[in-house]
Each structure stands twice: as C-alpha cells, then as structure tokens.
Structure 1
Amino acid sequence: MPDKLIKALGYNDQIRVYVVDATNMVKTAQEKHGTWSAATAALGRAMVGTTLLGTTLKGDEKLTVRIDGKGPVGYILVDSNGKGETKGYIKNPQVSLPLNEQGKIDVKGAVGTDGMLTVSKDLNMKRPFVGQVPLISGELGEDFTYYMANSEQVPSAIGLSVLVNPDETVKAAGGFMMQVLPDAEDETIAKVEEAITNLPLMSKLMDEGETPEQILDRLVTDRSARILEAIPVSFKCNCSKERFKDAIIALGKKEIQEMIEEDHGADAMCHFCRTTYQFDEEELNELKEETDMP
C-alpha cells in the first residue's frame, strides 16, 4: 500500500489533525543506509516527524531538521517539503542497543539527550526561519512536541512510531500530529488528551492493517473528523550530477587539479540517498576551466 498523509479537522473544527503512514518511506531509508534497529527507529521517527512538520508548508517551501543528542547514532539530518517528499541521513547507521525497560527499542539511548533539535525553514524569504530547542526526551515524539510549543507557539501533540523486524527490516512506520486551534474549549482538549492516552502503538495498528483514516477516527473520538486533503508520502532525493558539478567547481582549480593528478577522476556520493556520481579526467578538466577560484 502506498504511503499517505491525511490532513483533517476534528472536534467541531477545534483541532487540526495529521496522520501519516510512512512505512515505505522509512523502509527505503533503512535499505539505503543499512541501519540497524536502534538507528532505524531513530532515523525513522525523525523522518516521520519532519514529514508532519513539512506538510504544514506551502508551495515550494521546505525545511531541514537536525537532531544531535550526542548519542551513539550521532546527528540525524532530514529534509522535507509540503509535497510529502522527505530524505534522511544518520551519521552512524549501524547502532543496535538492548531493549529499554518497557521492552522497546531504546531510541533515547541511541539519540541521547545532551543536545538540540533544530528546525530551519526555507520560506522563500531573504533568511530562513530557524528554531531550536533542547532535547528533553530523546524519544523524539516529545521533542518535536516541545519544539512546536516553544519555538512556534502552537500547542501540539506528536506521536512517532517505527516497528522493526528481527532481521533489521522495517515492518511499519507512522505518526500523528494534533494541533489545538485558538477557539478550542477545555472540554475538547481533555478529549484529545484521553484519545492520545488510549491510542495503541501506531506502527502496531498499521502492521495490523489499519489505515490513516481509521487511526484518525481513534484520535477524533466524537466522529466529527473532516478530511481536508490526502497526499502521497515518499523518500525522495533531489540530488543530481549537475549539483555535484557546482560543488566541485566551488572547490577551485588547485583542488580539482589534485583530483586529476592523484585519482584521475572523482566519485561524489550523496549522503542522503547514497547515489554515486562519477567524474572522469576530461570532465574534471572542463570543470576546472569553469571555476574562478584559484
């Protein structure tokens, strides 16, 4: 089943709700980076959270989330946009830890809590909007929630879930975000809190075959959910050989000449999708002529 994110209003339009099934997106990331269980769960949760934030953007706006808690997985970097296109990178992909006290993957132990969650939004203005909060949990759902409340002043609840098979493959991945709108009543907020408390693990529900629409009905318990839009979600990288050409040109003549003399060419790998672009001596000589850098 293709990945999908739905946007909805609930509780008589007092709550904005996003629900996403990102199983294939996280599967793709796991396969590209060869992640082990703890790293898979950390990267997957970061990608789901960033996708939820990204779908609040408009047009060609985009955002980057960087998470660095000084844990064994190192930093995590995720890009997303308003079209549901997301790509992710984790510095140390081969991290597997003993299960935590709840018998679940120890995402907190993998990510760490001695660091920051940083969101940089490219809103097509002169400067990007940058918001940053300390990591308060390392489980990431709570950290994204804390970011929304403190940096964007939008009271929200964000849940992120990744289910990993014993052979390191991804079984299911998804998440939700519920945002309190300005006219929300205290009674409504209490209903939302109760619904979230009673919600089973999202990845488990998806593994059992539940759709985002069915999970939406679990979150909006008064059956007032009104779906506004459904968009596809995918792992998508916009790298290209042309982009790497520009990066090589920026190195300058001296460094390009060293590549020619020492390696007789160059291989450039995208750290998001692991695609390798090859440049032979002739191409490097052409790029050397294009640069104004010494």
Structure 2
Amino acid sequence: MNDYIVRAAAADTQIRAFAASTTHMVEEAREKHHTSPVATAALGRLLTGGVMMGSMMKNPTDILTLQIQCAGPIGGMTVTADSQGRAKGYVVNPEVMLPPKNGKLDVGGALGAGFLNVIKDMGLKEPYCGQTVLQTGEIAEDLTYYFATSEQVPSSVGLGVLMEKDNTVRCAGGFIVQVMPFVEEAVLEKLEKNIQNIQSVTAMLDNGHTPEEMLEKVLEGLHVEVTDTLPAEFYCNCSKQRIEKAIISIGKKEIQSMIDDGKEIEVKCHFCNTAYNYTVEELKELLKKSR
C-alpha cells in the first residue's frame, strides 16, 4: 500500500482530523541517510507529523519547516513539507545508538532537552515562526504542546515507527486530531475517553489499520467523515543548479581556494544525501558568477 494522508471532519465539524501512513517515506529516509534504529524512529515521527501539518496549508507554494534543536546525542533534526503531501528531512547525527528504554527505542533520550521550531513560509513578507520547549522529546507530545501553546488549538497527536529485526521500517504513520473553539463538552469528553483507550499508533499500524481505520478508532462514536485523501512521499527538489547557487553564495575567496586545490569537489544535499560533483573547470565558471 502506498503512503497517503486522509483529511476528515467529525461531530458535525466540531473536530478536524488527519491521519497518514508513511512507511515508504520513512524507509526511504532511512535508506538515504543510513540512520540507526533510534534515529529512524525520531526522523520518521517528525516526517509523519510534518507531512500531515504540511497538508493543513492552503497554497501549493506554502512550505512548512519543523526544526528540533536539542542537547541529546542525535544533535538535532529538520523536516520540510509542502501542502501536497511531500516531505524531506535529515538528522544531524544519523548513527546515534542508545539502549532501549522500557523495551522501546529511546527517542526522548536521543533528543534530550531542546526546542521545537515551526516555520511556515506562506509567501508573506515574513514567515510565521513559533518556538516551544521540548516536553518529552518523543515528538508526538511535543507537537501536541506546540499546537496548544503557539496556535491555541487543543490537539492530540499520535506518531509511530515500528522497526523490523533487520532495522528496516516495518510500518510508520500517525494522526492529528484538533477540536474547534465551539466544541461541545460531551464531544470533548467522548474524544478524551477514546484517546485514553486506543492502542498505540504502532500497534494499530502493525494490526493492518489504514489511516481511515485509525481515525475510526480515535473518533469512535463521533461520526467521522473523510473529506479528502492525498498521496504522501519523501521528495527532495535539490538539483545541480540549486547546489551551484549555494556554492556561488559562499563567495569568491572560498571558491578560489577550492580551485587552487586543483581537485574535483563533492557536495551533498543535507535532505536526501545526493552527491553532486564539480570539476575545477566548473568551479572556475562558478567563480565568474560569484561576487
């Protein structure tokens, strides 16, 4: 089954909800970045949260960035997503290894103390920026806290990545459920009770639940209505031309230094690890274009 995102409403639009299956996206990220199991779980959760939050944006050109700055051994993470179900991301230290905690991958230990930055570039003069302190480092709780404090939208976020014994991704996905300001007390109580009683996201995914079925569980008895579905994928828009612009931006002195070394250089994209090579002749051409 290909990855996709479901958008839905429930309780006569008192609730809006999103759910996603992201197994292929997270496995592709793991392959590109050669991440350890705990780094795969951390990046997979952030990618899943990011791709659902990206789908909340309106315009094709809108870009969401989730950035975690932290003191833990993972060193930090960045994910960007658009409104069309495409996301990409990387971790600073993809090889981080930690012993399991309570039989599970210790994502919170890998992140430690830190901050979550949410940047929305919607084509305005200034992008919207929100920052919150990491609550647990488990990411779902951190996004829940972000929505409540920065956007004043009471939300429940569930994210999960389950690994195979060979360290590939068995399944990944999640949900975001948000209540509207006019929500009735009875609806809120029912939702809170459901969330307390549901299985974990990884358990639901491992039992073969689709995003629609996850929402049926989370919103049981609240009349879920799926309004839209869209495909989700790991997608990076890097190219040799884009990397050239980055090289030009470092200035004449640095480019000249590379030319003086007399060797071909390799530049890797942070987000997808694709390597681009530039010969000395190509660097000379870039030197002419730099200021």
Match of 1:152 in 2: 151
- Partner Cα distance (1:22, 1:80) in 2: 13
Does residue 1:92 correspond to 2:93, yes or no? yes
Q: Look up the SS of the partner of 1:89 in the other structure.
A: strand
TM-score of the two chains, using structure 2 as the length reference: 0.97
Match of 2:79 in 1: 78
Residues 216-255 of structure 1 correspond to what in structure 2 (within 5 A)? 216-222=215-221, 224-255=223-254
Aligned AA (2:150): S
- Partner Cα distance (1:46, 1:8) in 2: 21
Give the Å deviation of 1:150.
Answer: 0.4
TM-score of the two chains, using structure 1 as the length reference: 0.96
Q: Look up the SS of the partner of 2:52 in the other structure.
A: helix
CA displacement 1:138-194 (0-9 Å, x = unmatched): 111110000011011111110111101122111111110000012211110111111
CA displacement 1:13-58 (0-9 Å, x = unmatched): 2110101001111011111111111111111111111112111111
Q: Look up the SS of the partner of 1:177 in the other structure.
A: strand
Does residue 1:278 correspond to 2:280, yes or no? no
Where does the alignment leave 5 or more consecutive residues of structure 2 unmatched?
none
Match of 1:207 in 2: 206
Asked if 1 retains the 8 angstrom alpha-carbon contact of 2:41 and 2:107, the reply is yes
CA displacement 1:205-246 (0-9 Å, x = unmatched): 222222111112111211511111101111000111111111
Give the Å deviation of 1:264.
Answer: 2.5
Q: Look up the SS of the partner of 1:239 in the other structure.
A: coil
Aligned AA (2:276): Y
Q: Mean alpha-carbon deviation: is it higher for 151-160 or for 196-205? A: 196-205
- Partner Cα distance (2:104, 2:290) in 1: 52
Q: Look up the SS of the partner of 1:63 in the other structure.
A: strand
**Structural RMSD (CA):** 1.2
- Partner Cα distance (1:245, 1:38) in 2: 33
Give the Å deviation of 1:286.
Answer: 1.0
Q: Look up the SS of the partner of 1:238 in the other structure.
A: coil
Aligned AA (1:231): L
Residues 1-294 of structure 1 correspond to what in structure 2 (within 5 A)? 1-59=1-59, 60-101=61-102, 103-112=103-112, 114-222=113-221, 224-292=223-291
CA displacement 1:67-109 (0-9 Å, x = unmatched): 12211111001101111110011011112322213x2111111
Asked if 1 retains the 8 angstrom alpha-carbon contact of 2:187 and 2:222, the reply is no
Asked if 1 retains the 8 angstrom alpha-carbon contact of 2:4 and 2:229, the reply is yes
- Partner Cα distance (1:107, 1:128) in 2: 29
- Partner Cα distance (2:51, 2:274) in 1: 22
- Partner Cα distance (1:193, 1:144) in 2: 17
Asked if 1 retains the 8 angstrom alpha-carbon contact of 2:162 and 2:169, the reply is yes
Aligned AA (1:94): E
- Partner Cα distance (1:278, 1:4) in 2: 34
Q: Look up the SS of the partner of 1:221 in the other structure.
A: coil
What is the identity percentage for the equivalent residue pairs of Structure 1 and Structure 2? 43
Where does the alignment leave 5 or more consecutive residues of structure 1 unmatched?
none
